[in-house]
Chains A and B, each alone.
Chain A
Amino acid sequence: QVQLQESGPGLVKPSGTLSLTCAVSGGSISSTNWWSWVRQPPGKGLEWIGEIYHSGSTNYNPSLKSRVTISVDKSKNQFSLKLSSVTAADTAVYYCARPTVTHGCWYFDLWGRGTLVTVSS
């Protein structure tokens, strides 16, 4: 079955760029799916960051759009997140997730285990 695994630095300096990768195993990233990033600050709720299709089409959360880039690497079967100009408010567990569409409704039925990224000097 398809599995997702996040990887990347756990510590990023303020004003730096957060970079994470999500490896897709057990299936092709070029399948008919979008691929998403969701984050959760410690002790707080979930925030959708954005999504990408294997063609490269993207949708971003307007609140983060000026700082976010999501890309896909089909040769490595993975997709990536870059978040620039980070502050302590970007400290969170970052999840990659795969939405499924049923009856026109998108829901996240597959998640990576999540990776904690701390923004600190």
Chain B
Amino acid sequence: DIQMTQSPSSLSASVGDRVTITCRASQSISSYLNWYQQKPGKVPKVLIYAASSLQSGVPSRFSGSGSGTDFTLTISSLQPEDFATYYCQQSYSIPRTFGQGTKVEIK
């Protein structure tokens, strides 16, 4: 199995801050990396697919980059509705594994 490791596990930030979350794969996954946002009690929502493609309807303050084993999700200016848990997920191979999540909290 490919292990996905996110860092940090949690962070505190203020509205307007630039936030970066990192995801590292245990082996190369090319660009087969997706990012999801999940709010408490809600269904996960895809933000970024194929490492850097913005899903339709997702605000442009979200961006993704990386390839191989190292990837980042960046929120350019944190908004109140962005406080949530973020997960990366690889689709390079079966099983389709997720990172452990990064919780973004209000500072």
Using CB atoms and an 8 Å cutoff, list the residues of chain A in contact with chain B: 45-48, 59-63, 95, 99, 102-109, 111-114
A108→B36 CA distance, assembly (Å): 9
Complex interface: chain B residues within 8 A of A102 (CB): 49-50, 53
Complex interface: chain B residues within 8 A of A48 (CB): 95-98
A6 to chain B, nearest CB (A): 11
Given the interface contacts A103-B50, A105-B31, does A46 sit within 8 Å of B87 by beta carbon?
yes
Using CB atoms and an 8 Å cutoff, list the residues of chain B in contact with chain A: 1, 31-34, 36, 43-44, 46, 49-51, 53, 55, 87, 89, 91, 94-101
A114 touches B43 (CB 8 A): yes
A103→B89 CA distance, assembly (Å): 16
B98 touches A47 (CB 8 A): yes
Closest to B45 in A: A111
B80 to chain A, nearest CB (A): 23
Nearest 7 pairs between A and B by C-beta? Answer: A106-B91, A105-B50, A107-B49, A107-B34, A61-B95, A48-B96, A111-B43
B46 touches A107 (CB 8 A): yes
Given the interface contacts A45-B87, A105-B31, does A62 sit within 8 Å of B95 by beta carbon?
yes
B35 to chain A, nearest CB (A): 9
Query: Among A46, A48, A60, A111, which residue has the most Cβ atoms of chain B within 10 A?
Result: A46
